Each structure stands twice: as structure tokens, then as C-alpha cells.
Amino acid sequence: MNNQPLLMNSQSKEFAVVYFCSDKTTSEIPVSWLTENESACWWPPSRYASSYIVNKYNPDPQTWTKHAVKVEFYCASLKLARKKADDLNCTTEDDDLQRGRGQRKLKRIIKDKGDKSDSESDNSHDSPPHIENHRQVSSLRHDFNVLDIPIVIAEEDGAYSQAMEHEIPVVSNMYAVSDASEGSSRKSQGYPTNQELKDSMDRLIKQSAELQQDLKQILLYQKSIDKRLSKIEQNKQQISVNNDNSALTSLLPINSINRLQEFEDLLTSNEEIRDAFKRYISNIGGKSPRDNVYRIFSKIYSNNLANLCSWLGQRNNFRVCDLHSMKMIKDAVMLLFSIKENEFEAIAKEWFRLAKNRIIQANKKNKKNQD
């Protein structure tokens, strides 16, 4: 291993090239990873340690591991440190040509321990750093860490200049870190930490829960509105039926057999008309059962029609006891006065039998009024 003295002290440089004594590999690291006596350094658990190196994350003693190292160089820039580490890791000129001058591989390759020719020819040339134990353990983790995303380092092709004052920017597939001149501090551009990601996820979960509560409240409002609309629709239908009373009264009183049959068909086929007719006869009223029947009949059937009808249809008269309108009238009267069915029939028979007398009296009254 190269035992030349250090170029500068660690206080003026941000990166160091160290030799790992355990697996005989070399790597560049931030100076902050070195211990106080500079005989050991911290190493992150991530498989892709390059992102930790680029962003110079502070070591975490709880998750990072400590390894014995020997400091080879102190460098002002990451590019210079990687160049130094590459020079130490290159085994032969042929190997350097195969890799291309100034081009770094993203994954370092560990030399086969069984290769005697390489190990015997030159013990000073070691494989690139590969802390196997720590990187393999991190690969077993099931949780995803954005810091594990590989970073592609682009370096210029051509002869390396030791007088380089500026570094080539480091490009990530998620974030870009721009390096200023040597000695300037590096700052990550909006790179979220694990705690920031956790806080964002907690906010999303909270907002989702609040949204669910809002949806439940909206559903309750919708059900309430549906009930109100249903009541409004029912009231509208009720008003429509009540307005149909005027259409119903325009058909009354019925003055012919044909009109009577048409009215019966309307009662059996139209539920709204039937309900309107029921309310109409129920609101007529009377002082007694007889008065109530007479008042209803006089509004429904004209005297001319009644003169052509009888209860049982005797003597070629029209039978009215089976009419649908008659059954509805009977139910309304019996409900109002609690009379028996035969009592209602007696009153109805009497009203139809006296139809001729009512016609005579009406004619006399009209004639008297004309005179």
C-alpha cells in the first residue's frame, strides 16, 4: 500500500482516501466519517454508499459500522478523491485501458481471492472497496429507502489535470447536486429525508381520514334531501289531485246512462279520480243519514237520470245497486253515521223512487219563476 505522507491536514479538506485494513480495499469518504484519531471510519448500511458519500451525510452510530482504516490522502473535492482511489485500485495498465481512462464503474468488483497470479505479483494493488458484510445485510431489508437509489457519476474523458478548479456535477435519477469550486460547501437540492417522507405520509393519511368523514356527512345530507324531495313530490301530487276536484265537479251531476257508464269506467281505471271522488262525497255531510244520502245523490245523479234508474233495475230501469260509485257512497255514509247496510238501501231506494216527483216540482218552480 502507498505509504507516502499525507498531502494536507484534514481540517482544510472535505474528503479522504482510506485503506480498509479488514478487506484490503480503498475508497473515498467524507472526512467527517473518520474518528478523532483517524485510525477508523464509519460506513453506512446502504448498498449504494455513493449517495451517502456525495451528500456527506453525518454518521449514525446506531446503524453504521466502524472499520479500521489508514488514511492515504486528503482531497478538496470528491472528484479528486475518486481519482486517487481509482489510481490505487488499478492493478495493471491493461485493466485501466479496459475500463477507460477517467471512467468509473458504478459497481466495484472484488478480486477473486483464489487468483494467485494477481496476489503474488503485486500486493500493493488491491480491489475496490467492498464492505460485504454491511452491504449484504442492508439488501435483506424489506423497507424501501430513497437514499438507496443509485447515483450515476459523470466524469470528463481525457487527461486528468491536477490543477482542476471545478468539478463535474453529480447527476441522480431523482435529484441533482451541483458542486461549486474546490473548498465550497455542498448542499443537497431538496433531497427529502426519511423523517420528511414519514411526515408527508402521515399528512396524507390524516387528509384521507378527513375526506372519508366529509363523504359520510355528504351522504347523510343527500339522504335528508332525498326524503325532503319525496315529501315535496307527494305534496305536489296531493295538490294535483285536489285541483282535479274542479275537473271532477265539472262531470257532475250525471244526467244520462251513457255518461254514468263513462264515469264508472273512469272510477275503476283512474286511481287519482277515485281518491278525489271519495274525498268529495266524504266532505258533503248532512244532519242525518237520510239527509247525507239525499245531499250526495243530488250532487252525483240528476233527477232525469234517477227517473231512468232503480235500485234493483225493475220495470226496465237501469240497475244502480252494483255501481262502483254507489258502493263508495254507501261506505262513506256508513262510516259517518254508523248505520247498517239495509238502512242505507232503504234510503237509496226511496230517493230513486221519488225522482219523478222531484222533476214535477222542479218544473212547476221553473214555470212559476218564468211567470
SS3 labels along 102-120: CCCCCCCCCCCCCCHHHHH
Q: How many CB atoms lie within 10 A of CB 330?
A: 19
Record the cell numbers describing residue 215, joined without a space.
363523504
Confidence label for 230 from pLDDT (cuts 50, 70 and 90): confident
Q: Which secondary structure element, helix H or strand E, spans residue 310, and what is its range? A: strand 309-310
pLDDT at 4 over 80: no
Residue 59 CA to residue 311 CA, distance in Å, equals 111
More confident residue, 115 or 101: 115
Angstrom distances, CA of residue 368 to CA of 290, 355, 371: 29, 20, 5
Given this model, what pLDDT does residue 164 score? 42
Confidence label for 117 from pLDDT (cuts 50, 70 and 90): very low
Q: What is the average pLDDT score of the chain? A: 75
Q: Say what percent of the chain tops pLDDT 90.
A: 35
Least Cα distance to 95 among 111, 84, 79 occurs for 111
Residue 310 CA to residue 348 CA, distance in Å, equals 9
Q: Kindly report which listed range (149-158, 189-198, 265-274, 302-311) carries the lowest average pLDDT score.
A: 149-158
Average pLDDT over every residue of 331-346: 92
Average pLDDT over every residue of 30-37: 90
Average pLDDT over every residue of 245-252: 80
Given this model, what pLDDT does residue 254 score? 92
CB 329 within 8 A of CB 278: no
Record the cell numbers describing residue 348, joined without a space.
237509496
Q: What is the DSSP letter of 56?
A: T
CB 202 within 8 A of CB 194: no
pLDDT at 314 over 50: yes
Average pLDDT over every residue of 254-260: 93
Residues 6+ apart with CB under 8 A from 158: 101, 102
More confident residue, 176 or 278: 278
More confident residue, 28 or 144: 28
Structure confidence by residue, pLDDT tens digits, 161-178 = 443 444 434 444 433 334
Please give the sequence-ordered ranges of beta strands (E in DSSP) within the chain, or none if there are none: 15-20, 25-30, 40-43, 65-75, 151-152, 170-172, 176-177, 309-310, 318-319
Q: Kindly report which listed range (3-7, 53-57, 209-213) carries the lowest average pLDDT score.
A: 3-7
Residue 275 has, within 13 A of its CA and on its CB side, a CA count of: 11
Given this model, what pLDDT does residue 369 score? 83
Given this model, what pLDDT does residue 356 score? 92
Given this model, what pLDDT does residue 311 score? 93
Burial grade of 182 (CB within 10 A; 0-12, 13-18, 19 or more):
middle
pLDDT at 196 over 50: yes
Record the cell numbers describing residue 71, joined without a space.
488514511
Q: What phi, psi does 338 have (nearest 5°)?
A: 55, 45
Q: Which secondary structure element, helix H or strand E, spans residue 282, and what is its range? A: helix 271-282
Cα 150–Cα 155–Cα 159 angle in degrees, nearest 5: 155
- Report field, pTM of the whole predicted structure over 0.95: no
Residue 331 CA to residue 278 CA, distance in Å, equals 10
Nearest 10 degrees: Cα torsion 273, 278, 284, 286: 160
